[in-house]
Amino acid sequence: MRIIPAIDIIDGKCVRLTKGDYETKKVYNENPLEVAKAFEASGIEYLHLVDLDGAKAQHIVNFKVLEQIASKTSLKIDFGGGLKANEDLYIAFNSGAKQITGGSIAVKNPKIFEGWISKYGAAKIILGADSDQGKVSISGWMEQSKEDLIPFIKDYQKKSIQYVICTDISKDGMLEGPSIELYKNIIAECSNSSNGQSIKLIASGGISSIEELPILKEIGCEGVIIGKAIYENRISLKQLEKFV
């Protein structure tokens, strides 16, 4: 299972929110590159980089931070937040992203999102399926769509999506443990698609201790995104180094 630390960016700084609420912003480091280098030094290979300014502005904003981390570390970065147009994707990949995550766009403009899957290939495009009470949430979690989570994922599975990040919003930033049952359901429901392609589920939200990681691995998660637990020293980089 891949360990994927998260860096969320507002005003070029490394921050965390609780349940996606911008009012709960807490700055952890003024220099995201410093944080990324610490991850890299611990043997971590992957990074989930979120442009929270971009999510609000509906277009890519913090691509310079992406560019800096991509050019000065060897981390494989998946980038999300505000990717709404072909131009945003061009900038993200040009700035060094290895993958991009699309959430709201997959709900609001499926034609564009499907076009990205066709153009760049399913290995480069991650479906962001963030959920609140079984419905897919969009627009930086400020809006709930009418889409039911599992049918939504299955529909994109038919369109050859492989990677899915699922955040249970009620758990995000709460440090109360991840949604094990939700992930079990998704993996069970999406394991036999019509094209025979199982999804690669990346768990996100609520991770609070190192003991939760083997459980997520055991139920079949392909990756896990860890944010606040690292910044609040609930999980040390030393522990992650051993797990990796």
Query: Nearest CA to 156 among 87, 86, 227, 103?
Result: 103
Q: What pLDDT score does 75 carry?
A: 98
User: What dotted CATH number matches 2-243?
Assistant: 3.20.20.70
pLDDT in tens, 116-168: 999 999 999 999 999 988 899 887 666 788 999 999 999 999 999 999 999 98
Domain extent listing, the chain: 2-243
56, two tokens = 């609000």
Which residues are identified as catalytic? 8, 130
pLDDT at 195 over 60: no
Q: What pLDDT score does 171 carry?
A: 86
Separation of first and last alpha carbons in the chain: 9
193 pLDDT band, cuts 50/70/90, is low
Render the chain in DSSP notation, one character per residue.
-EEEEEEEEETTEEEEEETTEEEEEEEEES-HHHHHHHHHHTT--EEEEEEHHHHHHTS---HHHHHHHHHHS--EEEEESS--SHHHHHHHHHTT-SEEEESHHHHH-HHHHHHHHHHH-TTTEEEE--EETTEEEETTTTEEEEEEHHHHHHHHHHTT--EEEEEBTTTTTS-S---HHHHHHHHHHTSS-TTS---EEEEES----TTHHHHHHHHT-SEEEE-HHHHTTSS-HHHHHHH-
Distance of alpha carbon 182 from alpha carbon 166, whole angstroms: 9
Amino acid at 95: S
When mean pLDDT is compared across 37-46, 65-74, 136-145, 233-242, the lowest value belongs to: 136-145
Percentage of residues of the chain with pLDDT beyond 70: 96
206, two tokens = 């609520």
Strand arrangement, sheet containing 135-138: 131-132, 135-138, 143-148
Q: Which residues pair with 14 in a beta bridge?
A: 9, 29
Distance of alpha carbon 15 from alpha carbon 57, whole angstroms: 17
Q: What pLDDT score does 10 carry?
A: 97
pLDDT in tens, 1-55: 999 999 999 999 999 998 888 999 999 999 999 999 999 999 999 999 999 999 9
Distance of alpha carbon 48 from alpha carbon 44, whole angstroms: 12
